[in-house]
Structure 1
Amino acid sequence: MSPRTEPADLYRHGLRLLLDKDIPAWVDLWDENGIFEFPFAPEGWPTRLEGKAAVADYMRGYPDHIDLHAFPEVAVHQTTEPETIVVEMRGTGRLVATDAPFDMRYIAVVTVRNGLISHYRDYWNPLALPQDAAADFTGSSR
């Protein structure tokens, strides 16, 4: 992506990469010093990742846990800061370990600088994840 990439375009490209299970390419959308925060993370899960390497480590096993099929709802909202967007979305798929359906709503606040993600706050709902799936995640690289 070029340094002139609009935040909304970069974000939508990232969703496509997640659906393609191309985690390394998704991580490449991050600034070396990017911050990934999870304000609602349950106990035992990280609340803040600092740097691209930490993001890569966190996301490495994602497709082993969640098989994403679609983002049927994505609404990108511009803010008064041109580099920052707020995204409301829904991701669907299946939990790999149990083959149970996965259906999660998210709100993300994302800042893009120089064509790369520099700050991402992920307001996902840990209560919407089945308890057995949460146990699987906490035993993983998360």
Structure 2
Amino acid sequence: MSAPTSPASPVDVYRHSLRLLLDKNIPAWVGLWAEDGVMEFPFAPQGWPRRLEGKEAIDAYMRPYPDHIDVHDFPDVRIHQTTDPQTIVVEMRGVGRLVETDSPYDMTYIAVVTVQDGLITSYRDYWNPLAAGEPGIDFTGSSR
């Protein structure tokens, strides 16, 4: 009899989530979330969502992502452990292009991510949507 496998670590889950985003596999990316997971955008400008509660809301937000941002790479990923073994802090860049305008996309992110039992339960995304240089595009696909 084999020993039970332990849930994936926050680092493993996060690195896997980046591979899924590069593959534009949003359904599998959403599959990494707990049913009651929460995604927050503390720096979201007025009119943009600041908090998404539940897997269904996260799915609806992320589903059109590949139609608007074609991410080619996540260079410079640095993952920091915290005193809470379930929580990591990630510094990274996402590079690619904005689909609608074919403009370059190069964004720096900081995320605070909590993973419990191998699923993302909390994701606070500290990025600056205004730095993308494309007013009116909210990267989830809907024009504002």
TM-score range, shorter chain: over 0.9
Q: Which structure has the greater CA radius of gyration? A: 2
* Aligned match of 2:24: 21
In the alignment, the residues of structure 1 paired with residue 25 and residue 53 of structure 2 have an alpha-carbon distance, to the nearest angstrom, of: 21
Q: 5+ residue gaps in structure 1?
A: none
The structure 1 segments of at least 4 consecutive aligned residues displaced by more than 4 Å after TM superposition are none
In the alignment, the residues of structure 2 paired with residue 134 and residue 59 of structure 1 have an alpha-carbon distance, to the nearest angstrom, of: 19
Q: Is the CA contact (8 Å cut-off) linking 1:90 and 1:106 kept in structure 2?
A: yes
Q: Is the CA contact (8 Å cut-off) linking 2:136 and 2:143 kept in structure 1?
A: no
Identity between Structure 1 and Structure 2 (%)? 68
1:1-142 to 2 correspondence within 5 Å? 4-130=7-133, 133-137=134-138, 140=142
Identify if the C-alpha distance between structure 1 residues 38 and 3 changes in structure 2 by more than 3 Å, giving closer, same or farther. farther
TM-score (norm 1): 0.93
Choose between structure 1 and 2: higher helix proportion: 1
Q: 5+ residue gaps in structure 2?
A: none
In the alignment, the residues of structure 1 paired with residue 38 and residue 143 of structure 2 have an alpha-carbon distance, to the nearest angstrom, of: 18
Q: Is the CA contact (8 Å cut-off) linking 1:86 and 1:107 kept in structure 2?
A: yes
SS at match of 2:13: helix
Q: Is the CA contact (8 Å cut-off) linking 1:60 and 1:141 kept in structure 2?
A: no
**Alpha-carbon distance, 1:43 to partner:** 1.0
Q: Is the CA contact (8 Å cut-off) linking 2:129 and 2:138 kept in structure 1?
A: no
SS at match of 2:136: helix
**Alpha-carbon distance, 1:134 to partner:** 3.5
Q: Give the superposed CA RMSD.
A: 1.6
| Paired residue total | 139
Q: Deviations over 1:49-88 (max 9, x none)?
A: 0000000000010001100000011000000000000000
TM-score (norm 2): 0.92
In the alignment, the residues of structure 2 paired with residue 44 and residue 18 of structure 1 have an alpha-carbon distance, to the nearest angstrom, of: 25
SS at match of 1:73: coil
